[in-house]
């Protein structure tokens, strides 16, 4: 693994980051008329389940940072080339089209075990995700409510995109069990992934609304109904 950029010229990651940062001031302003809910939590705390409920039951547009991050690291993208330039064959995956492609599991093992590499990857991907949010929000300027599902909302400093922040909360034992079952990983790997994010205890104090995901699905729906308030009167596809 090559952990150092060449001194005589900026790396692809640095060039990409600089270009994105240069346009960062052209973000979409938060208008008084639009309610932007920043939906966050810890890994495997239930953010995706809440996002689906908000989209399916109340018809709200949900913008997913994880989707944008995966797109940023799709085969053949500049960000993928930057990762391969840094880590080489250790994270390369064969692609039938011949495009440069990543072994996401291998990359995950590296970044979850090394805070320096995690920070490097975040500095590469987060500006790309932010730019995508700005573009999507521009197209949704007439929507009264938009949900921004951002796992690392606080860590990435994206609170400014939101009018309020909702935290999907659960206890540590539930989080650990869900993550091990979802990703088929062992306890040590699961704990390393949880430790790579801010703890839920830290995020609780920063959130405007805490959604308790320790109970039943019916209880969860009731919490969301209450948190939405007058905006809960939208279309409901599931009675």
pLDDT at position 232: 77
Q: Are residues 130 and 198 part of one domain?
A: no
pLDDT at position 20: 36
Examine the fold and report which residue of 108, 139, 170 is the final residue of a domain before the chain moves on: 139
- Tell me the C-alpha to C-alpha distance, in Å, between residue 151 and each of 110, 222, 229, 238: 19, 22, 24, 26
pLDDT at position 29: 55
Q: Are residues 119 and 166 part of one domain?
A: no
Report yes or no on 218 lying in a domain: yes
Q: Are residues 121 and 214 part of one domain?
A: no
Q: Are residues 195 and 89 part of one domain?
A: no
Phi and psi (nearest 5°) for 115? -65, -30
Q: Are residues 74 and 118 part of one domain?
A: yes
Report yes or no on 214 lying in a domain: yes
pLDDT at position 82: 97
Report yes or no on 239 lying in a domain: no
- When divided into structural domains, the chain yields a total of 2
- Residue whose pair of structure tokens reads 């609304």 in the numeric block: 209
Report yes or no on 76 lying in a domain: yes
Tens digit of pLDDT at every position of the chain (239 positions): 333 333 333 333 333 433 334 333 344 455 557 999 999 999 999 999 999 999 999 999 999 999 999 999 999 999 999 999 999 999 999 888 888 999 999 999 999 999 999 999 999 999 999 999 999 999 999 999 999 999 999 998 889 999 999 999 999 999 999 999 999 999 999 999 999 899 999 999 999 999 999 999 999 999 999 999 988 765 554 43
Helix (H, G, I), strand (E, B) or coil at 213: coil
pLDDT at position 30: 54
Examine the fold and report which residue of 139, 157, 184 is the final residue of a domain before the chain moves on: 139
Q: Are residues 217 and 150 part of one domain?
A: yes
- Residue whose pair of structure tokens reads 């994880």 in the numeric block: 66
Q: What is the CATH number of the domain that holds 53?
A: 3.40.50.300
Print the domain residue range for 135. 66-139
Closest CA to 220 of 38, 55, 54: 54
- Entry pTM: 0.81
Tokens found for residue 153: 């909302």
Q: Could you give the CA distance from residue 150 to residue 65 in angstroms, rounded to a whole number?
A: 5
Q: Could you give the CA distance from residue 169 to residue 101 in angstroms, rounded to a whole number?
A: 34
Examine the fold and report which residue of 85, 104, 139 is the final residue of a domain before the chain moves on: 139
């Amino acid at each position: 693994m090559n952990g150092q950029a060449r001194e005589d010229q900026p790396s692809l990651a640095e060039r990409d980051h600089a270009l994105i940062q240069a346009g960062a001031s052209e973000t979409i302003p938060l208008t008084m008329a639009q309610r932007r809910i920043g939906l966050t939590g810890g890994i495997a705390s239930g953010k995706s389940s809440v996002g689906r409920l908000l989209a399916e039951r109340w018809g709200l547009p949900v913008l997913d940072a994880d989707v944008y991050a995966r797109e940023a690291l799709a085969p053949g993208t500049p960000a993928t080339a930057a990762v391969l330039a840094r880590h080489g064959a250790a994270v390369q995956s064969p692609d039938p089209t011949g495009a440069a492609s990543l072994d996401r599991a291998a990359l995950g093992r590296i970044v979850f075990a090394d805070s320096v590499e995690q920070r490097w990857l975040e500095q590469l991907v987060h500006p790309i995700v932010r730019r995508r949010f700005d573009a999507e929000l521009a197209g949704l300027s007439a929507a009264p409510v938009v949900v921004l599902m951002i796992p690392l909302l606080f860590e990435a400093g994206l609170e400014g995109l939101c009018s309020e922040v909702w935290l999907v909360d659960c206890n540590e034992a539930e989080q650990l069990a869900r993550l091990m079952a979802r990703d088929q990983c062992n306890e040590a790997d699961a704990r390393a992934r949880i430790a790579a994010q801010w703890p839920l205890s830290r995020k609780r104090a920063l959130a405007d609304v805490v959604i308790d995901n320790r109970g039943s699905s019916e209880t969860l729906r009731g919490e969301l109904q209450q948190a939405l308030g007058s905006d809960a009167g939208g279309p409901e596809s599931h009675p």
